């Protein structure tokens, strides 16, 4: 076994790898960006080295800096985790050239499976079924559009070097193809440095089922059963589980054989995942699935496989990389119960799943029987716009599927996260959706049920606002009492830091409270009972967390921020301006494209810009018909959430 490991990754996966390495007696070496200097994985390591600024392309994706640390520290092996450089054949070769063992498959296998078009051709020769489509080298838009027409809509455009749902678009109409292709290629280039795409038939009612394979350097390849990853949105996995619902023994054997055959076709060793797509309308059958791609690395959802098999897959990765034989044969593996994983993200399902950033003022993730938490952040830490917005993976194991799902839902609802908004309530609604509970799965289930799952703008929870307002009022009354002032009186200095609210005209002796886009004015001498009468529901069982400029009011996964607005913070919306035409950045991110210029006429709903965050593109649309005025940024600028990009003046 190795004596030391450099972990070329960050967040929860870096910490998860480090824990296994420490248990195996290795010295743990971390590399980190400037933004991650205080991260838990850095603190856990035996030593840590900064390799650059926050953007991944200037730190975690710079091979030379990572290998300089490996050489300086004498690291025996390097574990790439997932994402970043984990599926980069050149990086694996550079590790070998530097005398550092790459904990992963041979570079030849990474290269063979790294491009989806080549991978499909390779496994097809090995007898593995593939989805009909075009996987060639010609990339002219007109040619690809014609191929899509020949294949028949709907089609899927996929980056050949892609993964994680990036660089992927479903197209339903011939007229929409060119725009979808351009967006897909741009996102693929930004994420993977390769704009090459393939076109394939979109399988209706698709089930996404993947098989965990493992090989050693002695020619042994086995599988650790399957995982169902059909609960997706925009091709990004939301909930994963093992085993797959509705999978019988004969179908499992067929999936497993195809996966092992595909791995053997490239001389594979280490951990890998063969991803298949099946026609869910007819159920899972031995002759009803197709190869999609191979991930030549550990998967985000690997914990559910660990839970049902009892094996530490990271430990197996280290042992295989060190030259050991697989410690188990295929016939020795059995499935124990059911496991399900939810990705707890800092995002807002109610606003199109936009990422949510900021300080984690509270982070208390509930445990309990059968619950495992894999997280890379701590209370007081930051969710930044530079990386994936995952807060934690919450994994539940049970004797059966219903027990696992119940445990997962309860753990999510009992957790407390304040600051960035999360997808907690959405995840719980999905867990309890009748189709999901019944195992009636396909990758379109979420998109068909967004409203039922709560992924639509909600009405403001006025009871939550009341609870927050009451707490802020109590704090202000105590402050005034400590200062020896009457409950309804003014502070002696109206410009004092804590009395800004008093500057609002006509608000003497009152407190202005803001929640979402609404404001409430409360008398400073109001009692709790009076507040309760004016704003019913304040006595509901909320969790209150102080932070930032106010109070976060939490109710089983939903959060309302209640604060005292700063009257000196002049905004376009609050001071008589025409806010109806204001075009704002929906999140912290990068302005990657502008499609209009000052003076240009636009139609309501027209795409005027694209903002990128966490490597995902988000279109910005004109809020009305009119003329573009006052473009505030050039393409390439970093934007804060709510930053004014431009104004659309109303058409006369």
Evaluate the omega torsion of the peptide bond into residue 154 and state whether it is cis, within 30 degrees of 0.
yes
Domain ranges of the chain: 4-103, 132-201, 271-448, 462-563, 579-650
Query: Known catalytic residues?
Result: 297
Query: What CA–CA distance (Å, rounded) separates 593 from 572?
Result: 24
**632: phi then psi, degrees, rounded to nearest 5:** -95, -15
Looking at residue 35, the DSSP 8-state letter turns out to be: G
Residues of the chain below pLDDT 70? 163-164, 484-508, 517, 528, 531-532, 534-535, 538, 566-579, 614-615
Please enumerate in sequence order all residues whose Cβ is within 8 A of that of 283, keeping only pairs 6 or more positions apart, or say none.
246
What pLDDT, on the 0 to 100 scale, is given for residue 164? Answer: 66
Assigned CATH class of 132-201: alpha beta
Kindly give the interhelix angle for 302-309 and 313-321, rounded to the nearest 10 degrees: 100
Neighbouring CB atoms inside 10 A of 498's CB total: 14
Contact predicate 394/344, CB 8 Å = yes
Cα torsion through 108, 113, 115, 121, rounded to 10: 110
The correct CATH number of 4-103 out of 3.40.50.20, 3.40.50.970, 3.40.50.1100, 3.40.50.300 is 3.40.50.20
- Count Cβ neighbours within 10 Å for each residue of 474-488 and write b for 16 or more, e otherwise: ebbbeebeeeeeeee
What Å distances lie between residue 4 and 30, 46, 104, 217, CA to CA? 11, 10, 16, 21
Query: What CA–CA distance (Å, rounded) separates 78 from 530?
Result: 63
What pLDDT, on the 0 to 100 scale, is given for residue 620? Answer: 92
> pLDDT, tens digit, for every residue of 421-452?
999 999 999 999 999 999 999 999 999 999 99
CATH topology assigned to domain 271-448:
D-amino Acid Aminotransferase; Chain A, domain 1 (3.30.470)
CATH topology assigned to domain 579-650:
OB fold (Dihydrolipoamide Acetyltransferase, E2P) (2.40.50)
> pLDDT, tens digit, for every residue of 46-80?
999 999 999 899 999 999 999 999 999 999 999 99
Please enumerate in sequence order all residues whose Cβ is within 8 A of that of 484, keeping only pairs 6 or more positions apart, or say none.
none
pTM value > 0.85: no
For residue 164, how far is the Cα from the chain centroid?
A: 9
What pLDDT, on the 0 to 100 scale, is given for residue 566? Answer: 66
Q: Which residue has the tokens 């109070």?
A: 551
What pLDDT, on the 0 to 100 scale, is given for residue 531? Answer: 67
What pLDDT, on the 0 to 100 scale, is given for residue 496? Answer: 31
For every residue of 478-505, DSSP letters joined together read HHHHHTT--TTS--S-TTSGGGGGGGST
Query: What CA–CA distance (Å, rounded) separates 472 from 550?
Result: 7
Bridge partner list, 50: 32
Please enumerate in sequence order all residues whose Cβ is within 8 A of that of 344, keeping only pairs 6 or more positions apart, or say none.
365, 390, 391, 392, 393, 394, 412, 415, 417, 422, 423, 424, 427
- In this structure, what token pair is assigned to residue 627? 């003329």
């Amino acid at each position: 076994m190795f004596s030391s490991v450099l972990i070329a990754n960050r967040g929860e996966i870096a910490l998860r790898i480090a824990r296994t390495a420490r248990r195996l007696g290795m010295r743990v070496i971390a590399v980190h960006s400037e933004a991650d200097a205080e991260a838990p994985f850095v603190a856990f390591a035996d030593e840590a080295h900064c390799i650059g600024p926050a953007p991944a392309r200037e730190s975690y994706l710079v091979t030379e800096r990572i290998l300089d640390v490996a050489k300086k520290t004498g690291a025996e092996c390097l574990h790439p985790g997932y994402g970043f450089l984990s599926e980069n054949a050149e990086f694996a070769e550079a590790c070998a050239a530097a005398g550092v063992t790459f904990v992963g498959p041979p570079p030849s296998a990474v290269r063979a499976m790294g491009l989806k078009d080549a991978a499909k051709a390779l496994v097809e020769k090995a007898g593995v079924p593939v989805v009909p489509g075009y996987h060639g080298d010609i990339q002219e838009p007109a040619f690809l559009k014609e191929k899509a027409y020949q294949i028949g809509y709907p089609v899927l455009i996929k980056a050949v070097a892609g993964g994680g749902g990036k660089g992927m678009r479903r197209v339903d109409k011939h007229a929409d193809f060119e725009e979808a292709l351009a967006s897909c290629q741009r996102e693929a280039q930004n994420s993977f440095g390769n704009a090459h795409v393939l076109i394939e038939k979109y399988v209706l009612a698709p089930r996404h089922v993947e098989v965990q394979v493992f090989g050693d350097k002695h020619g042994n390849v086995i599988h650790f059963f399957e995982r169902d990853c059909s609960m997706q949105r925009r091709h990004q996995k939301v909930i994963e589980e093992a085993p797959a619902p509705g999978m019988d023994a004969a179908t499992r054997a067929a999936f497993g054989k195809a996966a092992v055959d595909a791995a053997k076709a490239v001389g594979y060793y280490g951990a890998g995942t063969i991803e298949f797509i099946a026609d869910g309308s007819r159920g899972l059958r031995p002759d009803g699935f197709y190869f999609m791609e191979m991930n030549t690395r550990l998967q985000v959802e690997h914990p559910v496989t660990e839970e049902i098999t009892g094996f530490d897959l990271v430990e197996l990765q280290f042992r295989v990389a060190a030259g050991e034989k697989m410690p188990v044969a295929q016939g020795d593996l059995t499935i124990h119960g059911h496991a399900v994983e939810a990705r707890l993200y800092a995002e807002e399902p109610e606003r199109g799943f936009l990422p949510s950033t900021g300080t984690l003022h509270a982070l208390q993730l509930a445990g309990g029987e059968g619950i495992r938490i894999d997280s890379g952040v701590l209370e007081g830490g930051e969710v930044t716009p530079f990386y994936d917005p995952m807060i934690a993976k919450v994994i539940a194991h049970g004797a059966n599927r219903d027990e696992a799902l119940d445990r997962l839902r309860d753990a999510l609802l009992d957790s407390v996260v304040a600051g960035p908004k999360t997808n907690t309530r959405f995840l719980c609604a999905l867990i309890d959706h009748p189709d999901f509970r019944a195992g009636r799965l396909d990758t379109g289930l979420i998109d068909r049920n967004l409203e039922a799952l709560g992924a639509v703008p909600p009405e403001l929870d006025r009871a939550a606002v009341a609870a927050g307002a009451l707490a802020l009022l109590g704090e202000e009354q105590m402050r005034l009492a400590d200062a020896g002032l009457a409950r309804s009186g003014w502070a002696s200095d109206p410009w004092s830091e804590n009395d800004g609210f008093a500057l609002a005209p006509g608000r003497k002796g009152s407190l202005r409270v803001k929640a979402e886009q609404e404001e409430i004015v409360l008398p400073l001498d109001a009692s709790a009972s009076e507040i309760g009468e004016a704003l019913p529901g304040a006595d509901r069982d909320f969790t209150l967390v102080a932070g930032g400029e106010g109070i976060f009011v939490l109710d089983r996964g939903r959060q309302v921020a209640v604060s005292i607005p700063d009257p000196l913070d002049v905004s376009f919306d609050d001071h008589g301006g025409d806010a109806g035409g204001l075009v704002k950045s929906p999140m912290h991110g990068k302005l990657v494209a502008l499609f209009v210029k000052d003076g240009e006429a636009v139609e309501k709903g027209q795409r005027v810009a694209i903002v990128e965050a966490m490597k995902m593109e988000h279109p910005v649309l004109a809020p009305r018909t009119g003329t573009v005025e006052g473009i505030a940024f050039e393409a390439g600028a970093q934007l804060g959430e709510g930053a004014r990009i431009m104004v659309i003046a109303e058409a006369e």
